Every structure is written in C-alpha cells, then in structure tokens.
Amino acid sequence: MMKNPRKFVFSFFLLMLGIVFTTNGIAMQIGAKVGVNPWDVLHSGLSNVTPLSIGTVNVLVGVLLVAISWLLGVPPHLGTIVNMLVAGPFIDLWLYLDLYPTPATLWARALLFCCGTFLLGFGTAVYFKANFRYGPRDGLMIALHQKTGIRIGWVRAAIEITVIVIGLLFGGMFGVGTIVSALAVGFLIEFSLWLLGWLGRIPVLDKFYRNLCREDEELGSTND
C-alpha cells in the first residue's frame, strides 16, 4: 500500500473512475446491439442460460479467474479485488437505469457502439494510471504467460477466442462489433495513455501530481 495517504486516495479515485468509464462503455456496447467485447460475449451467454444478470456473471467469472491465476502463481492485489467486486454491479446499474437504449437506426447504433468502445479503451487507460496492478482478466493473461512462456499477445488472443466460442455456445451477444472491439481496444488504450500523459502536462495537473510525488519521497525518507 502507498505510504502517502493523499496519493493513495488520488490513485483509488483514478481506479474507480476507470471502472466507471469502462462499465459505461460496456453498457453502451450492449445497448448498441451490434456485438460486444469478447469477455461480454461470454458474460451475456452465461446470463442467457442462468437467472443471473450480466453484472453478476461478471463478478462470478472474475472470482473464478482470480482463483485460477492465484493457483498459477499470480496473487490478486487491491485493484484486482476492487475490479472483481465493483465492475459487475456498475454494469447492472447502468443497464437498470437504461442509460443507453437501443437506437432505431443502424448508423446511430454504430455510433453508440463506437462511443462505448472508446470509453472501454479510455477507462482501461485511466485504470492503468491508477497503478493498482491488473484486473482479474489481465491477471489470468499474465499467469498463463508466465507459466507457458508464450508471448502476451498470443495468450490474450487465445483467451479471447476461447471466451467468444464459449459465449457463442450459450447465445452470447456476438456481432461485427465483437471483432471491431477485439481489434480496436488495444490501440485505443495506447492512444488514451498518450492522451492522459499529454493532459498530465497541463500546469495545474502537473503541479498537483509533482506535489504528491514530493510528499511520497518525504514520507519515504522519514521512514528510512
């Protein structure tokens, strides 16, 4: 845990903000009805064959993934646990509030999907900036990479193909948007990390973060 309480609070705020962004992105993709990201093909499929909501399935799948990753030598961190417990209820909340009803026209649905996919990538980048390590799904990817020695990209591709296939077997929300999301989100995360870095150079934000880092160094030297 971080030594500086203010920096911890700020990082935790970024963590929660990232989850809010990503879960809104997921709700937008679901509302667009042109396909969802690979993991939500699985979540929606399992939701179809059980009385559980998509958000509840998200949580239960997260618990299973954390357990598998831990057995493979990658233990969960605070960010992993928070992501596992909070993301699903947020998804259910946005869907319950019906914030993103399905548009009547295809172009409007495509626009809603694109906005959701951008939010998914941007939110993931914000989550990364919080420095709370990985979520349950990335934890599995890291665990399999470390165990097998196979490159991260190939491990991620294999996992996503697997969850899509399983989700399809249960009638998950697969569509052209699934392919677009799978191909685009990585680049959107990369762009969003650049954008956040650029925003961090705005004088007010830069000064705020430098002050947090200075306090962290001072606390570290005091403890030494």
Q: How is 185-198 classified by DSSP, letter by letter?
A: HHHHHHHHHHHHHH
pLDDT of residue 204: 64
Q: What's the full length of the chain, in residues? A: 224
pLDDT of residue 85: 97
Cβ contact 100:33 at 8 Å: no
pLDDT of residue 9: 86
Burial class for 143, CB neighbours closer than 10 Å (0-12, 13-18, 19+): buried
pLDDT of residue 1: 47
Whole-angstrom Cα distance, residue 102 to residue 28? 9
Whole-angstrom Cα distance, residue 19 to residue 28? 14
pLDDT of residue 48: 97
Phi, psi (degrees; rounded to nearest 5) at 3: -75, -30
- Sign for the CA dihedral angle at 66, 67, 68, 70 comes to positive
Low-confidence ranges of the chain (pLDDT < 50): 1
pLDDT of residue 146: 92
| Three-state secondary-structure class, residue 63 | helix
> H-type helices in 33-151, by residue range?
38-48, 54-71, 78-97, 106-129, 136-148
Residue with tokens 């970024």: 14
pLDDT of residue 124: 92
